[in-house]
């Protein structure tokens, strides 16, 4: 009887611990921002987006949105230990493929890496946007013909969205090459998806622009159509990333 009680108690503790870890991970999801003066004396913004299993952190100038750096990949949280597996890093590409763990202090509205001064303030908890998550481009429609794309290959175009923030990143996990990124805020309303660009690594003149697209969720995929920042027509399919 005592043995059964011990097993029952152990099962309850495991269940409670699992619920705590799941709750902590859930609380981390969304967008966070820190503002500070860099080592070069530049006033910068650091914006982090955590979606299901994937994250991105980007630093850019507060004054004009000039892109400085970005890094990201997979993440997991156990207790207060955050582990990130790097898929792209513009400052340290040699870190691609490695995992980094560090302790964090996670509060309802603030996030801090233990031992560092910067404090990130919460921007959202994954709402209210319809498209929160990590998406990989999985197809394009050209001349009415669907062209599928393998999302498992090393060359990836990923878009991570919280409830109010978005960022796309083009990179290659095999060659550790980074091709470009852009991001800012977004809204979804009545089938219209609008991006407000705050940084763009390839062309800083696009900062401040707003781009509107049609969007729809079809069988779990995101159908995205309209015109690109260069004015070219686009009709894309994005799929939620699973691994």
Q: What digits encode the pLDDT tens for the residues 90-128?
A: 999 999 999 999 999 999 999 999 999 899 999 999 988
Question: For residues 25 and 105, which has the higher predicted lDDT (pLDDT)?
Answer: 105
- φ, ψ for residue 94, nearest 5 deg: -65, -15
pLDDT > 70? residue 19: no
- For residue 26, the model assigns a pLDDT of 65
Q: Is it true that domain 133-240 has CATH number 2.40.128.490?
A: yes
For the chain, what are the domain ranges? 25-124, 133-240
Residue spans of beta strands (DSSP E) within the chain: 30-37, 43-51, 54-61, 67-78, 81-89, 99-106, 110-113, 119-124, 133-142, 145-148, 155-161, 165-172, 177-189, 192-200, 210-218, 221-227, 233-240
Architecture of the domain made up of 25-124? Beta Barrel (2.40)
pTM of the model as a whole:
0.87
pLDDT tens-digit series, residues 33-79: 999 999 999 999 999 999 999 999 999 999 999 999 999 999 999 99
The whole-angstrom separation of Cα 129 and Cα 161 is 8
pLDDT tens-digit series, residues 146-181: 888 899 999 999 999 999 999 999 999 999 999 999
State the pLDDT confidence band at 144, using cuts at 50, 70 and 90. Answer: confident
Fold match, 25-124 / 133-240: yes
Closest-CA residue to 130 (of 184, 213, 218, 193): 193
């Amino acid at each position: 009887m005592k043995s059964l009680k011990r097993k029952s108690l152990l099962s309850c503790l495991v269940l409670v611990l699992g619920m705590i870890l799941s709750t902590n991970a859930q609380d981390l999801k969304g967008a966070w921002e820190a503002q500070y003066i860099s080592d070069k004396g530049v006033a910068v913004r650091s914006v982090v987006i955590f979606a299901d299993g994937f994250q991105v952190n980007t630093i850019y100038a507060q004054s004009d949105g000039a892109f400085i750096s970005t890094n990201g990949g997979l993440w997991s949280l156990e207790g207060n230990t955050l582990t990130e597996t790097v898929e792209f890093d513009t400052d340290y590409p040699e870190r691609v493929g490695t995992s980094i763990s560090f302790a964090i202090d996670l509060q309802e509205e603030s996030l801090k890496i233990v031992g560092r001064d910067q404090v990130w303030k919460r921007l959202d908890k994954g709402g209210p946007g319809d498209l929160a998550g990590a998406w990989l481009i999985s197809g394009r429609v050209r001349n009415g013909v669907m062209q599928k794309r393998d999302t498992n290959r090393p060359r990836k175009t990923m878009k991570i969205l919280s409830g109010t923030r978005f960022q796309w990143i083009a990179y290659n996990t095999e060659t550790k090459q980074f091709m470009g990124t852009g991001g800012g805020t977004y809204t979804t309303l009545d089938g219209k998806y609008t991006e407000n660009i705050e940084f763009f690594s390839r062309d800083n003149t696009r900062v401040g622009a707003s781009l509107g697209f049609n969007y729809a969720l079809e069988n779990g995929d995101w159908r995205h159509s309209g015109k690109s920042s260069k004015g070219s027509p686009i009709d894309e399919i994005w799929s939620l990333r699973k691994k």
